[in-house]
A = this chain, B = another copy of it.
C-alpha cells in the first residue's frame, strides 16, 4: 500500500461531539495536548450540557469540544468548525449547522439507527440532504472498535467505551499529530486490560486512517511561530487556581481560600485544595456568606484571604464585602461569571456582573475591579489582584467567566523569579500606632494582626474615625472617609500602564473590550485592518479605576464600539465618565462572540454594507 499524500494547510478547527457519556471532553483534551506538542498555536472551547444529566441520545445531553489550531496566531476556537466529529444523531443535529459550508462531517454511522434518529428529533434520515452540503465521512466506529478488541475478554459495553479513542487515533493520522503523549498518559492512568484496550484502539484508529480509502490524504499544519519559551496548555480555572497558589509563594504568606461550590467556579476550589503543601488552606464553607466571612477573618489574622464564586454567589457575598471595604482589609474576591439572571444558564457564558461588582453593595463602597482576558491571563490577573489588595489594604474583585474557565490555550510558563517577591508590610511598632493611619502614597492603613503585642485594636463595620479607627458619627469625618475610600481606589490608576492601542492610534473607529472577548475582538479587528478598514482596538484589564489615559485615547477616535456579553455595562461606565456616544454591541445568548458578528458590526459602524 503506497503512502497516502499529505496536504499542507494553515489552520483547521475540529469539533468533537457526542453524548455526555461518549468522552468528548477527554478526546478533545488529548487531541489538544498532541497539537500543542506538535507546535501549533491553538484555542479550545468545551461545551458541556447544562447541570442536568439528560437522557442519552437527546439533544439536551450533547457534549462538545472544539479545537482550533494553526501555523499562525490563534485567538478564538473559530466561529465555524471545518470538521465535525459526531458520535450520534443528536450530536449531529445540535452541531451540523455550525460547520463551514463544504466542511468535513465524520460520523459514527453505527449510531445512526432509526431509534436514535427519532430520539434526536429527526423525522427523516438527514444524511442524504447533508451529503450535498458537506463532505460526509461515515465510519462504523463502534464495529471497528469492537473488532480491534475482539480477543480481549471485555463485555461489549466496556469495549464500546473506548470507541472515542479509536476515532482519536484516526484523527491523529488525519492531521499528523503525535500519538506518544496520549499513549504516555494512558500508561500513567490505566493498567492491565483497560490500558491495553485503549492503547490498542488508538493505534488501530491510526492504522485505519492510514488504510481506509474513505480518507484519501492526510494534512500537515506546520509549526507556528511562537515566542520561544516553555509552554503548557492551561484552562482559565487552572490558571486562576495556580495564581492563588502562587500568591502564597510570591508573598511568602499563607493563603486562605474560603469557597462554596458553584458552577463554573468549583474547579478552582478543587484545584487549590490539592496544594496544602504550599501553605494554602482551603475551607469549603456552608454558603457564600460564610466563605467570604472566613476569608475576611483570615485576612484580619494575617493570611492572604481569597474567595471564589460565580454570579449568584457574588451577590450573596456583597454585604460582607462591604465590611471588608469599611475595615480596609486585603481580600481577593474572584467571580467566574456565568449567564443569568437568577440561576439562568449556569454552564453558559456572560460577562454581566461588572456593574454588580461595582455597585452591588449598600451605599458608595468603592472596590477595585480587574478582569482576565484569556485563560492563561487568569494567572497573572489573580496575582495582580493580590498585589493590589495588599498594597492598598483593600478588597479587590477579580472577574473571569465560564468561557475562560473551561477553554484552554497554550500558555508560556512564567519564570518564577519574574513573578517578584513581595512582602506584606505588617505593622509591628506600638510607638504611635493607629489602626487607621495612612500611607501617604497609597492611603493604605497598617495591617496589624492579632498576636502582635501592643497593637491591640478593634475594627468593625460602623463608621470610623480616620486615624484612631474609633466609631464616629461625625458628619465631616464621614464625608472625609467616603472621599478617602474613593480616593484610595482612584490612586490605583497611577500604576496602570499606558493603554495599548492596536492599529492606528487615532482614526475612525475604536473597539473597546474587556475580559474573555479579547480573542474574538482581536481577530475581528486584525482581519478588518487586513481588509484595509480604519479600526483600532484596546482591551481593558482595569475596570475600576479605569486607565487614566482612557479618556484621551477615546477622544482620538470618531466612533467607539463596546462589544460585551451583557446589555452594555462597560459601555454605561464609559458613556457616563467620558460623555462620548460609545455604542454597545451586546450578546446575551450564553455563547461567546463570533468573529463574524463583530466584523459585521464594525462594517456597519464604518458605513460599509455587509
A residues neighboring B (CB under 8 Å): 50, 52, 60, 310-312, 314-316, 318-319, 322-323, 325-327, 337, 339-345, 348, 350, 352-353, 355-356, 358-365, 460-463, 471, 473, 475-476, 478-479, 482, 485-486, 566-567, 569, 572-573, 575-577, 579-581, 587-591
Contact = CB atoms under 8 A, between A and B. Distances in A.
Contacts of A566: 363-364
Most buried by B among A342, A344, A486, A591: A342
Contacts of A359: 355-356, 358-360
9 contacts: A325-B341, A326-B344, A341-B363, A341-B364, A342-B461, A344-B363, A348-B473, A478-B588, A575-B579
A323 B581 CA distance: 33
Contacts of A312: 319, 322, 362
Most buried by B among A318, A363, A471, A478: A363
Nearest to A289: B316
A362 B340 contact: yes
Contacts of A326: 341-344
B363 A461 contact: no
Given A341-B363, A342-B462, 11 more contacts: A315-B319, A325-B342, A337-B362, A339-B478, A340-B362, A343-B461, A344-B362, A356-B360, A364-B567, A475-B590, A482-B567
A483 to B, nearest CB: 8
A316 B318 CA distance: 8
The 9 closest A-B pairs by CB, nearest first: A340-B363, A311-B362, A341-B365, A475-B589, A343-B461, A576-B576, A342-B461, A355-B359, A326-B342
A52 B473 CA distance: 11
A339 B479 contact: no
B352 A362 contact: yes
Contacts of A482: 567, 588
Contacts of A475: 589-591
A473 B577 CA distance: 35
Contacts of A460: 343
Contact of A315 (B362, B479, B579): B362
Nearest to A359: B355
A364 B352 contact: yes
A116 B144 CA distance: 98
Secondary structure class of chain A's binding surface, majority of residues:
mixed
A535 to B, nearest CB: 22
Most buried by B among A364, A589, A590: A364
Given A356-B359, A359-B358, A478-B590, A323 B345 contact: no
Contact of A478 (B360, B362, B476, B589): B589
Nearest to A311: B362
A345 B461 contact: no
Given A318-B318, A567-B486, A339 B356 contact: no
Given A322-B312, A473-B50, A479-B587, A463 B362 contact: no
Contact of A360 (B310, B318, B323, B572): B318
A590 B473 contact: yes
A343 B581 CA distance: 38
A272 B522 CA distance: 58
Contacts of A310: 362
A208 to B, nearest CB: 35
Contacts of A591: 475
A344 B461 contact: yes
A295 to B, nearest CB: 16
A126 to B, nearest CB: 20
A479 B589 contact: yes
Given A311-B362, A363-B352, A579-B575, A343 B462 contact: yes
A498 to B, nearest CB: 25
Contacts of A365: 340-342
Nearest to A317: B315
Contacts of A479: 587-589
A322 B340 contact: yes
A137 B419 CA distance: 72
